Amino acid sequence: MSGQNREDLKVVNQARAKTDALSIMGGAPVYTGDLVPDGALVVKLKRSPHAFARIVSIDKSRAELVPGVAGVFTWRDVPHHRHTFAGASYPGNNPFDRVILDEYVRYVGDPVAIVAAESEEAAEKALKLVKVEYEVLEPVLDFETAEQSASAVHPEDDYVYQTDIGGDLAHNVLMSERDEDGDFEAVYASCPVRLDETWYTPATQQAMMETFRTFSYYDHAGRLTLVSSTQITFHARRLVAMALGLPQSKVRVVKPRVGGGFGAKQSMVTEVYAAAVTYLTGKPAYIQFTRQESCACANTRHAFRIRVRLGATEDGIVRALWVDSLENAGAYGEHAANVIGLSGHKTLPLYGKAEAWRYTGKAVYTNTTPGGAYRGFGATQGCFAVESTVNKLAAQLGLDPCELRLRNLPEVGKPMPAYYDEPLTSCSLDRCIETGRRMTGWDEKYRSAPFARQVGPHRYRGLGMAVTMQGSGISNVDNCTARIRLDDGGFYTLSIGASDIGTGCDTILAQMAAEVLECDIDRIVVNGVDTSYSPYDKGSYASSTTYVTGNATVMAAKELLGKMRKVAAERMGVAEGDLEFDGDEFTCGERKLTLTELGVESVNGHADWLTAAASFAGHTSPPPFVAGFAEVEVDTETGEVEVVDLVGVVDCGTVVNRALAQVQAEGGFLQGYGMALTEDVQTLPGGKLATNSFMQYKIPSRLDAPPIRIAFEESWEPTGPFGAKSIGEVVINTPSPAIAAAIRNAVGAEIHALPATAEKVYGALRAQGADSHV
Amino acid sequence: MISIQEYRFAESLDEALALLDAGKRNRVIGGGMWLRLGHAGVRTAIDLSRLGLDKIEDAEGEVSIGAMASLRDVETAPCLRELFGGVLSESVKPIVGVQFRNMATVGASVYSRYGFSDLLTALLALDAAVVLHRAGEMPLDEFLRNPPEKRDILTAVHIRKDGRRAAYRSFRRSKTDFGVLNVCMSVSTEGDWRLSVGARPGRATRCPEAEALLAAGDGAGAAKAAAENLTYGSSLRGSADYRRHLAEVLTLRCWDALREDGAEARDSEPTDAGRDEA
Amino acid sequence: MTLNFALNGRKLSREIAPDETLLQLLRDCGMHSVRSGCDTSNCGICTVWVDGKPVLSCGYLAARVEGRAVTTLEGVKDEAEALMRCLAAEGADQCGYCSPGFLMCALAMFRELENPGDAEMRAYLAGNLCRCTGYASQMRALAKYAEGRRSK
């Protein structure tokens, strides 16, 4: 087989259009909302106007009388089984803190009742007629003081911890943990340079363009079937079964094309409501969230406060590093216990010379929109804090921040203690830094002091950078399976359980199979996910599909090729070792057997049906790396920040698809830009999310988008498929610390809480007494 | 979403006004941009789109912009790109996107007296008047401060062509967002200076104290006066203090743009070129 | 109320509610390319043409298209194909959910503007949000498409 060498690759490492490109762009009916069966009940949710309350009574009698209403369901009417919305391998860290509807409502927008009706109008009308009496409770709105609050967000007595994660519910502590190596206090105390800095990252929105939606019905076999816009098809089956108290065999989940997710759809959101209606009425049901519901009543990035203590030598070697994270879980605990760890474990290892490191984390419940998974998953928050601290160190020492990073990098071949002791098997971060330096003209432009590069009246430029890492799947937890067969028309069918949500995994997995099978991707049909027919895959998250499902795909394709060779050799009457295969036909001297003939053979009783399946579970999670750079121009009169250059240099191992990887990186960088500058989460005094629409929550438009320049410095990951690692998440992390550093480099303003709005930058300038430049 | 019981295309302005007067819950529909944000129950929706009110006419002494002209029409009308330093055209360009501006109408923008309105800020700094079908023509300034008590139908906006030069500056948190603060300044050939400040976040208003200082040639003083004499409030997009500060900065920037000795203008550096045009 | 209008060149007469949006009407007519994204007229995903001009069907009352011509991507498939192929080659579709609205605005732009440059295209298409791509690949595809048009 080809491919132990990047130069030999024919399909992998090339640009290929996505296999579904023309249908999804052309408006084919392939998304959840296009496939809803006629007559499905419209499902709407009555939501709490209070951040925290106990439901005293609900009068639904008038709502039920609205013509066309098929049912109004309250917490007394639906099954009561504690579960979680979090899609993560089981058993895991996510507590079972939800029921479909509860006696308590825990944030503004928490569902109070489910209305199902024959039309949207009837459902809306009924919603208004559901009368609820609340006992309003004192909400916990500030996550920094949640522990001291007199209110407990989760007072219920049937709350379930799957495992002990150090929680203390009476004080709103969902979990707490600590990990360390070396004597932090002693090493820190002995350092000549010490920093102790606190940083804040907000609860930004994933803001995928297709809002949450699910429809449900009973299939031919009497299974409760959900068609849902999800990243976690198999987890959703288990969790819906759990919520309704059904055996998993009675639930089926199908994932059609999905209009983006970025982690938002790694949690269930709409699934249980549609499922409950079908379960209770027997009828098909459809729920589609409005954009407002998607913003305020689903899940967001977890807001963090991160205190970083860093001890270093005077030449910038980081000797002691402590990441202390406080995470706002919001009202429910989806992913909180897993997200937080990455704030330490995916930042600390980058400072590979540290003699002592420590990570401490605590997640607290509050009465705010639940947190969840969002691309970067804690690494993003940690990256802003740690990289901002390191940038401050560089500024204090008068060291070039690129140079400082190069002095601290972990070494290939050595274990990374802060990264679960996994060995570093591939890393070209040093090359990434050097390339970015060249691309930005860093050495010519960079000045260590602020106000050194005036480019106009009250306009100054500055440069900043940051480095980051992510993982490739979750070691020893994720299991992904691929199944591939030769069909009798001489083509292949690749079945996967991984969820293509626009990422293009159907395409890149086909490229990997095609590389093994010496063909191009047009000969491979990829089947999306239906829990009835697809092999198990934990779903698309944790930057795992390329690496974990990719490895499974390569293994399955190799096994199939082996079987094909065996059958071909038997049929041709030659020794297997003498066979040549060019993707179209097997040859041995004058003898030939075409792929189509072999396909026919495999279904004609002469041989076994040619099919192979393979599962892969990684024992390591090789990190991809990015060096990110930003050049900004700051207007000191207004505080406005204009990013004039955003550069990312990526080590994702082998680039599997040159076009798609480029776009993943560009898209991730722009999301990071939004987090840095335009996406300003604001909450009203009673706890209601004010930025609950695209009118108020501003994701970058193409006029905002700065020039984004991406380059790849490929390494070869020995455990990866064709040397590949992940790319999906790592690309979002660096823009916010790089832009913040560039702002400081330009005008000295230090931004500790994202986003760096003009008003905040202007305020920082005033506070530092830089009036002479204002 | 606003609910509507009946939809009527008015065949004449008189009919439209009669329909409007026929019931409190009858409403004139402009571009319909905020239909999905409202919850009102409308009895009769009155559509003016068949009355030929979408013209922009460049006549001898004045320009007339029909109420049903879209913001995109304002943006692209050749005469509005030329007249008054092109501020009307410039002011609407950042509003959401082409599709939005194809729908949003001048009449709705003006009649609704939205605080965030870019167009109102620009119009107010020009010698503009609104034409109401019942109440007749009145200066925009007066319409904004004391609108007629009885509901009316705005049919056009007239702007006197007095040779005004004008400059418009809006500060936005992102390019297609509402303004945090909008400022428009103009001067006629007779030296009549006008300054309007919008998105304070309250609706656009003129600042006579600043206008007097502008006439006296004191741009910096005028900028301070605009900050000190007008009221500013806090909203999601900015605090009152920050808006007050921006009022000073943007007023000064408009002043610099309008000063005859443009060569010394503060914003004329090459690095700034294209930014305000974006 | 009865509505008479032309959809992609075909004359239709339908019963609609006075407060029905054009988006609802078009989806009921089987136009799956017309999708909702934001409900506040901010994202451009629901873009269609009324009398050749791009508008947001989520904020456009269906009643208003009486006697007018409405065009969705289904009606300009042939015109769109070359641009779709340029986008696909760049990987600029990603999740694809915003693509039809983007295509409708881009095609309107190419009908309206002679030879738009990058800044002009960005301004014209500013109302079409995309969360996946970061826009750069879309701009590359548009530039290639424009180049192809010029050389024809």
For chain A, the domains span 6-28+475-616, 207-296, 398-411+425-472+622-767
Residues C97 and C121 in one domain: yes
The answer, yes or no, to whether residue B271 has pLDDT greater than 60, is: no
Q: Which residue of A has its CA nearest to C41?
A: A695
Give the integer Cα–Cα distance in Å for A525 and A486: 10
Pairing of strands C69-71, C2-7: parallel
Type of residue found at B155: T
Domain closes at, from C12, C40, C74: C74
- Alpha-carbon radius of gyration of chain C: 15
CA A739 vs. chain centroid, Å, equals: 22
Q: With a CB-CB cutoff of 8 Å, which residues 692-711 of chain A face chain B? A: 696, 698, 700-701, 703-704
Give the integer Cα–Cα distance in Å for A332 and B162: 63
Strands (E), A95-146: 104-105, 111-117, 131-136
The alpha helices in B87-135, defined as continuous H runs, are 87-92, 98-103, 106-111, 118-124
CB A288 within 8 A of CB A400: no
Give the integer Cα–Cα distance in Å for A759 and A767: 12
Question: How does pLDDT run across A70-112, given as a tens digit for each residue?
Answer: 999 999 999 999 999 999 999 999 999 999 999 999 999 999 9
Mutant choice from B181, B245, B267, B277 vs A, greatest count of A C-beta within 10 A: B245
Q: Do C100 and A27 touch (CB under 8 A)?
A: yes
Residue ranges making up the domain that contains C45: 2-74
Chain C CB contacts of A648 under 8 Å are none
- Alpha-carbon radius of gyration of chain A: 27
Distance from the Cα of B269 to chain A's closest Cα (Å) equals 6
Q: Which of B3, B47, B99 sits opposite C19 (nearest CB)?
A: B3
Q: Do C93 and A292 touch (CB under 8 A)?
A: no
Q: Do B242 and A762 touch (CB under 8 A)?
A: yes
Q: Which residue has the tokens 């940051």?
A: A466
Size of interface B-C (CB pairs under 8 A): 90
Give the integer Cα–Cα distance in Å for A110 and A154: 14
Give the integer Cα–Cα distance in Å for C133 and A664: 7
Residues C63 and C101 in one domain: no
The sign of the dihedral angle between the CA atoms of C64, C67, C73, C76 is negative
Give the integer Cα–Cα distance in Å for C38 and A11: 38
Q: Do A663 and C73 touch (CB under 8 A)?
A: no
Chain C CB contacts of A679 under 8 Å are none
Pairing of strands A41-47, B179-187: unpaired
The answer, yes or no, to whether residue B249 has pLDDT greater than 50, is: yes
- Size (chain B), residues: 278
CA A228 vs. chain centroid, Å, equals: 18
Show Cβ contacts of residue B212 under 8 Å, excluding neighbours closer than 6 positions.
none
Chain C CB contacts of A34 under 8 Å are 32
CB A515 within 8 A of CB A10: yes
A691 in reach of chain B (CB within 8 A) = yes
Q: Which residue of C has its CA nearest to B49?
A: C64
Question: What is the predicted pLDDT for the residue at A769?
Answer: 79
**Which of these, C96, C138, C142, C83, lies nearest to C117 by C-alpha position?**
C142
- Per the structure, how many domains does chain C have? 2
CB C111 within 8 A of CB A519: no
Question: What is the predicted pLDDT for the residue at A5?
Answer: 86
Cα B131–Cα B137–Cα B142 angle in degrees, nearest 5? 100
What's C24's domain CATH number? Answer: 3.10.20.30
- Which fold would CATH assign to domain A207-296? Aldehyde Oxidoreductase; domain 4 (3.30.365)
Question: What is the predicted pLDDT for the residue at A546?
Answer: 96
Mutant choice from A32, A702, A734 vs C, greatest count of C C-beta within 10 A: A702
Q: Which residue of C has its CA nearest to A660?
A: C91
**Which of these, A463, A470, A497, lies nearest to A483 by C-alpha position?**
A497
Question: What is the predicted pLDDT for the residue at B278?
Answer: 29
A6-28+475-616 and A398-411+425-472+622-767: same fold? yes
Question: What is the predicted pLDDT for the residue at A253?
Answer: 98
**Which of these, A422, A730, A722, lies nearest to A550 by C-alpha position?**
A722
**Which of these, A602, A635, A608, A629, lies nearest to A709 by C-alpha position?**
A629
Choosing among 3.30.390.50, 3.40.605.10, 3.30.1490.20, 3.30.420.40, the CATH entry for B165-269 is: 3.30.390.50
How crowded is the C-beta side of A503, counted as CA atoms within 13 Å?
28
- Is the N-terminal amide bond of A755 cis, ω within 30° of 0? yes
Give the integer Cα–Cα distance in Å for A667 and A662: 9
CB B71 within 8 A of CB B97: no
Mean pLDDT score of chain B:
92
Task: Note the ipTM here.
Answer: 0.98
Residues C108 and C133 in one domain: yes
Q: Do A262 and C131 touch (CB under 8 A)?
A: yes
B272 in reach of chain A (CB within 8 A) = yes
Residues C60 and C99 in one domain: no
Distance from the Cα of B177 to chain A's closest Cα (Å) equals 7
The alpha helices in chain B, defined as continuous H runs, are 13-21, 71-76, 78-82, 87-92, 98-103, 106-111, 118-124, 140-145, 208-215, 219-229, 240-258
Chain A CB contacts of C132 under 8 Å are 208-209, 260, 502, 663, 667
Residues C100 and C53 in one domain: no
CA A394 vs. chain centroid, Å, equals: 30
C133 in reach of chain B (CB within 8 A) = no
Q: How many helices and strands (H and E) does chain B possess? A: 11, 12
Give the integer Cα–Cα distance in Å for A641 and A744: 11
Question: What is the predicted pLDDT for the residue at A304?
Answer: 98
CB A302 within 8 A of CB A336: yes
Q: Do B4 and C18 touch (CB under 8 A)?
A: yes
Question: What is the predicted pLDDT for the residue at A770?
Answer: 57
Q: Which helix (H) or strand (E) holds A484?
A: strand A480-486
Choosing among 3.90.960.10, 3.40.50.300, 3.90.1150.10, 3.30.365.10, the CATH entry for A6-28+475-616 is: 3.30.365.10
DSSP structural state of residue C63: G
Distance from the Cα of C73 to chain A's closest Cα (Å) equals 7
Write out the two tokens for A660: 């798609």
Q: Which of B6, B45, B99 sits opposite C55 (nearest CB)?
A: B99
- Is the N-terminal amide bond of A91 cis, ω within 30° of 0? yes
CB A53 within 8 A of CB A134: yes
Q: Which of A262, A663, A705 sits opposite C92 (nearest CB)?
A: A663
The CA–CA distances, whole Å, from A731 to A351, A728, A755 equal 19, 7, 18
Give the integer Cα–Cα distance in Å for C39 and A679: 19
Q: Which residue of C has its CA nearest to A664?
A: C133
Question: What is the predicted pLDDT for the residue at C152?
Answer: 74
Q: Which residue of B has its CA nearest to C38?
A: B36
Chain C CB contacts of A670 under 8 Å are 133-135
How crowded is the C-beta side of A208, counted as CA atoms within 13 Å?
30
3-state secondary structure of B141: helix
* Cβ-based neighbour number of residue B230 at 10 Å: 20
C120 in reach of chain A (CB within 8 A) = no
C149 in reach of chain B (CB within 8 A) = no
The answer, yes or no, to whether residue B273 has pLDDT greater than 70, is: no
Choosing among 3.20.20.150, 3.40.50.150, 3.30.365.10, 3.30.300.30, the CATH entry for A398-411+425-472+622-767 is: 3.30.365.10
Give the integer Cα–Cα distance in Å for B126 and A509: 62
The CATH architecture one would assign to domain B56-160 is 2-Layer Sandwich (3.30)
Domain closes at, from C20, C44, C74: C74
Q: Which of A457, A700, A759 sits opposite B239 (nearest CB)?
A: A759
Residues C146 and C82 in one domain: yes
Give the integer Cα–Cα distance in Å for A477 and A541: 13
C19 in reach of chain B (CB within 8 A) = yes
**Which of these, A393, A206, A202, A404, lies nearest to A306 by C-alpha position?**
A202
**Which of these, B118, B151, B111, B104, lies nearest to B276 by C-alpha position?**
B118
Residues C82 and C146 in one domain: yes
A301: left (phi over 0), alpha (psi -120 to 50) or beta: beta
3-state secondary structure of B117: coil
Q: Do C126 and B96 touch (CB under 8 A)?
A: yes
Give the integer Cα–Cα distance in Å for B133 and B138: 11
Q: Do B242 and A696 touch (CB under 8 A)?
A: no
Give the integer Cα–Cα distance in Å for A562 and A557: 9
The residue extents of the domains of chain B are: 3-47, 56-160, 165-269
Q: Average pLDDT for residues C93-113, to the nearest whole number?
A: 97
Chain B CB contacts of A457 under 8 Å are 266-267, 269
Chain B CB contacts of C108 under 8 Å are 98
Q: Do B98 and C127 touch (CB under 8 A)?
A: yes
Residues C83 and C64 in one domain: no
Q: Which of A26, A206, A702 sits opposite C125 (nearest CB)?
A: A702
Chain C CB contacts of B29 under 8 Å are 61, 64
Any chains having at least 3 CB pairs less than 8 A from chain C are A, B
Q: Which of C32, C73, C97 sits opposite A260 (nearest CB)?
A: C97
Give the integer Cα–Cα distance in Å for A131 and A58: 6
Question: How does pLDDT run across C70-86, given as a tens digit for each residue?
Answer: 999 999 999 999 999 99
DSSP structural state of residue A169: G
3-state secondary structure of A767: helix
Positions in chain A whose pLDDT score sits under 50: 1-3
Could you tell me the pLDDT band of residue B268, with boundaries at 50, 70 and 90? Answer: very low
CB B9 within 8 A of CB B50: yes
The CA–CA distances, whole Å, from A209 to B65, B148, C95 equal 36, 43, 9
Chain A CB contacts of B177 under 8 Å are 698
Q: Average pLDDT for residues B156-183, to the nearest whole number?
A: 97
pTM over 0.90: yes
Give the integer Cα–Cα distance in Å for A142 and A159: 23
Size of interface A-C (CB pairs under 8 A): 171
The sign of the dihedral angle between the CA atoms of A672, A674, A676, A679 is negative
Question: How does pLDDT run across A621-636, given as a tens digit for each residue?
Answer: 999 999 999 999 999 9
Q: Which of C19, C56, C108 sits opposite B100 (nearest CB)?
A: C56
Domain closes at, from C59, C74, C89: C74
CB A295 within 8 A of CB A693: yes
Residues C82 and C144 in one domain: yes
Beta-bridge partners for A175 = A363
**Which of these, A435, A503, A443, A496, lies nearest to A467 by C-alpha position?**
A435
